[in-house]
């Protein structure tokens, strides 16, 4: 009966988690639930509290207040159970640099009371890509290969929940793309994945995301819903003098806010303000040349910027 | 930073005042078969000098061995039978100076100072009576008749190497796991933290056993230091000492977070006390009381004493029970504290 109970519970559940380091409030009342078999992304800038949250959930540190459970087990009282059934890949590459690829994998298989053969199916796709280098020392691998090895090691015991703390930081775009492909495959095998990333473009690859800033969740929803709930219209504005343009746009009453976004400025305007022609005229008067204004679809990053302004 | 500024101050004071190889208040036992004026005058003179402290008076030669065994005295002054009478009637008498030569340098100084005092008494007698009196001090180095310094330093090196390997290397090895982040992954695994620690300790345990064996082989076959006592008791005491050192290393690893800090703590907390306060280089008896007191908490002091007793003086394990007891106690206390302090989490 207990088992039934556990099955019906969500994979991860957090209730008003608080954590303070000295004077810094790393987490301020974090609440969320992760369903079984979903890829849940925690999206936020460096120092937002992502790693702290991961460490609390992987039982490495204790929260000051609030409760959390993983796979139906309490992170404080049942930490031993949790440690048996989760896979954890810390943000910093944390394998034995002086052991070879194969030795690392073997070592972690032994630590988790299993063998490479037993769960080879699960890691096959990932491990095959680094197998040609299996006699190379882990410290000598490239960033993308290190990350594949770390993922293989975190998966070797077929965890029910996988914690990936910024797995793609410092990894080239091709490997990043591959990596997310692998996560999709793992999800298909029924593994719940909690992944954090500072890259907003990766957010759309998650089933649901939580936007985190300064230890607080700004919003939890599917990436689609978050984008569709963007309150204003978004314009991409370009001219010859981009720096002056940014200042002028921010000063203008016609816009709510404005951010530099690659080679364009993303300008948020409320529906009442929206008048591309008005804006163009105003900028013309301010002496801007080659003005280009286009209405665009907001991205997760735009949503994050807007939410973090509130 | 504070360490850098404080270190010279502490060292200057330690070396300048506390740690000296000078002879000062060395415990002396006297064997007086027949009480007479001449022997008591000499004893008074010894006692009155700053160098010696007469702590025991024995009456038979059988009592000499126990005096050394229980470390009651470093020097035994043996007067011959009817010393005073012989001196008065024959004009010559004999005194034997028996020194514990496991520390040859100290033994030489003791006998040198004692002979001088006896000589000065002889001079006084000559002045009074104008008669040629002749007191012949006969020096005998016990346990180490050839005065080999290796008799002193082999136990010292043993004490130091074991502590270095076990305590310093263990703590650094464990702290390195923390620093590299691998501890984080190991903790989030079914492996019990205590097994992680045990598996980190085992290689260094094996290593120190190998080291112990090599030091033994070298000292016996190359330096010619015999193992006078039971080899098994020597091994037993050493294993106990390794255990104490390992638990010390464990303690250091639980309170430090970087390899550097671990190195500093074990360096400052172990190396210097072991070198200075274990009695390996400087006789503990000569230190001021506070330092003598501190030296009691240096495990190496007790180990070196036990090794000297068993290996050089050839005593059985029963005569080092006190040392063994102290080491046991230290081990238990250290293990208890470090297991209490050991965290199953990161902080």
| CATH 3.40.50.300 matches B22-142 | no
Q: With CB atoms and an 8 Å threshold, state whether B184 touches A94.
A: yes
Are A274 and A290 within one domain?
Answer: yes
The residue among A194, A227, A260 that closes a domain is: A227
Q: How far is CA A218 from the centre of its chain?
A: 14
Together in a domain, A157 and A220: yes
Q: Which two tokens stand for residue B156?
A: 């010292």
Give me the numbers of helices (H) and strands (E) for chain A, helices first please. 11, 14
**What backbone phi and psi angles, to 5 degrees, belong to A294?**
-135, 140
- Geometric angle at alpha carbon B343, from A11 and B194, rounded to 5°: 95
From chain A, the residues in CB contact with B344 under 8 A are 79
| Chain A interface, best mutation among B176, B180, B188, B193, by max A CB count within 10 A | B188
Pair (A91, A182) in one structural domain: yes
The beta strand positions in A138-282, using DSSP E, are 161-164, 192-197, 208-213, 216-221, 233-238, 257-261, 264-269
Residue A303 host element (H or E) = helix A300-309
CB spacing of B187 vs A84 below 8 angstroms: no
Rounded CA gap, B106 and B52, in Å? 13
pLDDT, residue A5, reads 45
Give the residue range(s) of CATH 3.40.1710.10 domains in chain B. 22-142
Q: Which residues in B lie closer than 8 A to residue A97 (C-beta atoms)?
A: 180
User: Residue A209: beta bridge partners?
Assistant: A41, A221
Q: What average pLDDT score do residues B234-258 get?
A: 88
pLDDT, one tens digit per residue, over A227-283 is 888 888 888 888 888 888 888 888 887 777 888 888 888 888 877 666 788 888 888
- Name, in order, each residue with C-beta under 8 angstroms of B199's C-beta and a sequence gap of 6 or more: none
Give me chain B's average pLDDT, please: 82
Q: What percent of chain B has pLDDT over 90?
A: 5
Pair (A146, A251) in one structural domain: no
In B288-347, the residues whose Cβ lies within 8 Å of chain A are 344-347
The torsion angle over the Cα atoms of residues B148, B151, B154 and B155, rounded to 10 degrees, is -160
- What is the pLDDT at residue B19? 63
Q: Which residues of B190-201 are buried (b: 16+ CB within 10 A; e: fewer)?
A: ebebeebbeebb
State the SS3 of chain B.
CHHHHHHHHHHHHHHHHHCCCCCCCEEEEEECCCCCHHHHHHHHHHHHCCCEEEEEEECCHHHHHHHHHCCCCCEEEEECCCHHHHHHHHCEEEEEEEEECCCHHHHHHHHHHHHHHHHHHHHHHHHHHCCCCEEEEEEEEECCCCCCCHHHHHHHHHHHHHHHHHHHHHHHHHHHHHHHCHHHHHHCCCCCHHHHHHHHHHHHHHHHHHHHHHHHHHHHHHCCCCCCCCHHHHHHHHHHHHHHHHHHHHHHHHHCCCHHHHHHHHHHHHHHHHHHHCCCCCCHHHCCHHHHHHHCCCHHHHHHHHHHHHHHCCCCHHHHHHHHHHHHHHHHHHHHHHHHHCCCCCC
Q: Which of residues 31-60 of A touch B (CB under 8 A)?
A: 55, 58-60
Task: Name which of B180, B191, B345 is nearest A59 (Cβ-Cβ).
Answer: B345
Q: Which residues of chain B lie closer than 8 angstroms to A55, CB-CB? A: 346
The complex's ipTM works out to: 0.81
How many of the other CB atoms lie within 10 Å of CB of A46?
9
In angstroms, the CA B236 to CA B233 distance is 5
| pLDDT for A52 | 92
Put simply, the answer to whether B185 touches A108 (Cβ < 8 Å) is yes
Picking from A133, A150, A144, the residue whose alpha carbon sits closest to that of residue A170 is A144
Neighboring chain A residues of B200 at a CB cutoff of 8 Å: none
What pLDDT, on the 0 to 100 scale, is given for residue A4? Answer: 41
CA distance A104 to chain B (A): 11
Query: Is A261 found in the same domain as A214?
Result: no
Specify the higher pLDDT residue, A294 or B134: A294
Instruction: Examine the domain organization and report whether A167 and A272 are in the same domain.
Output: no
CB contact under 8 A, A90 and B181: yes
% of chain A exceeding 90 in pLDDT: 37
Model confidence at B261: pLDDT above 80: yes
Compare CB distances from B185 to A59, A61, A94 and report the shortest one's residue: A94
The CA distance from A306 to B340, in Å, is 49
* Tally of domains within chain A: 2
> Is the same domain home to A249 and A218?
no
Q: Which CATH number characterizes residue A172's domain?
A: 3.40.50.300
For residues A199 and A181, membership in a common domain is answered with yes
Q: Please answer yes or no on whether B345 and A83 come within 8 Å at the CB atom.
A: no
The residue from A198, A227, A256 where one domain ends is A227
pLDDT tens, position by position, B11-48 = 777 777 666 666 777 888 888 888 888 888 888 888 88
- Inter-chain residue contact A59 with B180, CB threshold 8 Å: no
Compute the distance between CA of residue A89 and CA of residue B36 in angstroms, rounded to an integer: 86
Q: Which residues contact B341 (CB under 8 A, 6 or more apart)?
A: B251, B254, B255
A/B interface, count of CB pairs below 8 Å: 54
Residue A267 to residue A276: CA distance in whole angstroms: 11
CB contact under 8 A, A111 and B345: no
Residues A180 and A281 in one domain: no
Compute φ and ψ for A283, nearest 5 degrees. -65, -35
In this complex, which of B181, B182, B188 lies closest to A83 when CB atoms are compared? B188
Contact A80 B190 (CB under 8 A): yes
> Which two structure tokens, joined as six digits, stand for B305?
């004493």
Are residues A216 and A293 part of one domain?
A: no
Residues A192-222: pLDDT tens digits?
Answer: 999 998 888 888 899 999 999 999 999 899 9
**Is the minimum CB–CB distance between A92 and chain B shorter than 8 Å?**
yes
Containing domain of residue A117, as a range?
2-227
Region A60-68 average pLDDT: 91
- Most confident range (mean pLDDT) of A119-123, B67-71, B109-113, B239-243 is B239-243
Residues A39 and A182 in one domain: yes
A65: CB partners within 8 A, 6+ apart: A16, A17, A18
Residues of B within 8 A of A83 (CB-CB) are 187-190
Domain termination site, one of A168, A198, A227: A227
Domain of A265: which CATH number? Answer: 3.30.70.250
| Residue pair A162/A186 in contact by the 8 Å Cβ criterion | yes
Q: What's the mean pLDDT when you consider all of chain A?
A: 87
Task: Return d(Cα A198, Cα A228) in angstroms, integer.
Answer: 21
Q: Does B188 touch chain A (CB under 8 A)?
A: yes
């Amino acid at each position: 009966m207990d088992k039934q109970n556990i099955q019906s519970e969500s994979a991860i559940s957090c209730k008003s988690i608080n954590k303070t380091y000295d004077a810094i409030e790393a987490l301020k009342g974090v609440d969320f639930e992760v369903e079984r078999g979903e890829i849940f992304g925690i999206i936020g800038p460096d120092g937002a509290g992502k790693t702290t949250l991961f460490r609390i959930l992987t039982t490495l540190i204790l929260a000051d207040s609030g409760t959390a459970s993983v796979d139906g087990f309490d992170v404080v009282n049942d930490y031993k159970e949790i440690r048996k059934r989760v896979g954890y890949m810390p943000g910093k590459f944390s394998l034995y640099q002086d052991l070879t690829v194969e030795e690392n994998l073997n070592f972690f298989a032994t630590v988790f009371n299993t063998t490479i053969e037993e769960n080879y199916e699960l890691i096959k796709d990932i491990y095959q890509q680094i197998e040609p280098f299996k006699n190379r020392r882990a410290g000598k691998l490239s960033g993308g290969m290190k990350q594949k090895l770390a993922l293989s090691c975190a998966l070797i015991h077929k965890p029910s929940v996988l914690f990936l703390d910024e797995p793609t930081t410092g990894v080239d775009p091709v490997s990043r793309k591959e990596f997310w492909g692998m996560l999709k495959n793992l999800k298909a095998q029924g593994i719940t994945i909690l992944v954090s990333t500072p890259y907003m473009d990766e957010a759309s690859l998650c089933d649901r995301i939580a936007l985190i800033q300064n230890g607080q969740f700004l919003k939890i929803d599917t990436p689609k819903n978050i984008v569709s709930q963007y309150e204003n219209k978004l314009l991409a504005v370009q001219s010859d003098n981009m720096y002056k343009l940014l200042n002028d746009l921010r000063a203008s009453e016609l816009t709510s806010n404005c951010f530099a976004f690659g080679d364009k400025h993303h300008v948020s305007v409320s529906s009442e303000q929206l008048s591309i022609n008005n804006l163009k005229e105003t900028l013309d008067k301010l002496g801007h040349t080659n003005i280009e204004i286009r209405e665009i679809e907001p991205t997760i990053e735009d949503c994050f910027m807007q939410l973090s302004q509130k | 930073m504070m360490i850098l500024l404080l270190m010279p101050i502490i060292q200057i004071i330690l070396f300048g005042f506390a740690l000296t190889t000078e002879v000062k208040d060395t415990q002396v036992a006297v064997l007086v078969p027949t009480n007479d004026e001449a022997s008591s005058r000499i004893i008074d003179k010894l006692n009155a000098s700053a160098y010696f402290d007469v702590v025991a008076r024995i009456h038979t030669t059988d009592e000499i061995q126990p005096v050394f065994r229980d470390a009651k005295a470093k020097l035994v002054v043996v007067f011959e039978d009817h010393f005073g009478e012989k001196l008065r009637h024959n004009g010559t008498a004999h005194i034997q100076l028996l020194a514990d030569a496991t520390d040859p340098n100290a033994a030489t100084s003791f006998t040198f100072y004692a002979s001088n005092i006896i000589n000065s008494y002889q001079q006084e007698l000559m002045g009074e009576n104008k008669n040629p009196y002749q007191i012949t001090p006969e020096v005998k180095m016990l346990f180490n008749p050839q005065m080999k310094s290796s008799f002193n330093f082999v136990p010292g090196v043993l004490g130091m190497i074991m502590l270095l390997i076990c305590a310093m290397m263990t703590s650094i090895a464990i702290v390195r796991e923390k620093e590299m982040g691998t501890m984080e992954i190991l903790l989030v695994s079914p492996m019990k933290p205590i097994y992680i620690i045990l598996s980190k300790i085992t290689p260094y345990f094996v290593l120190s056993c190998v080291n112990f064996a090599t030091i033994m082989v070298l000292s016996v076959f190359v330096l010619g230091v015999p193992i006078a006592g039971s080899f098994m008791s020597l091994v037993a005491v050493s294993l106990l000492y390794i255990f104490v050192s390992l638990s010390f290393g464990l303690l250091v690893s639980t309170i430090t977070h970087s390899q550097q800090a671990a190195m500093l703590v074990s360096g400052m907390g172990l190396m210097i006390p072991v070198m200075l306060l274990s009695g390996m280089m400087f006789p503990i008896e000569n230190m001021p009381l506070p330092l003598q007191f501190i030296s009691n908490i240096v495990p190496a002091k007790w180990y070196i004493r036990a090794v000297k007793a068993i290996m050089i003086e050839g005593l059985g394990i029963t005569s080092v029970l006190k040392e063994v007891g102290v080491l046991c106690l230290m081990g238990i206390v250290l293990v208890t504290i470090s297991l209490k302090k050991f965290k199953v989490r990161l902080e």
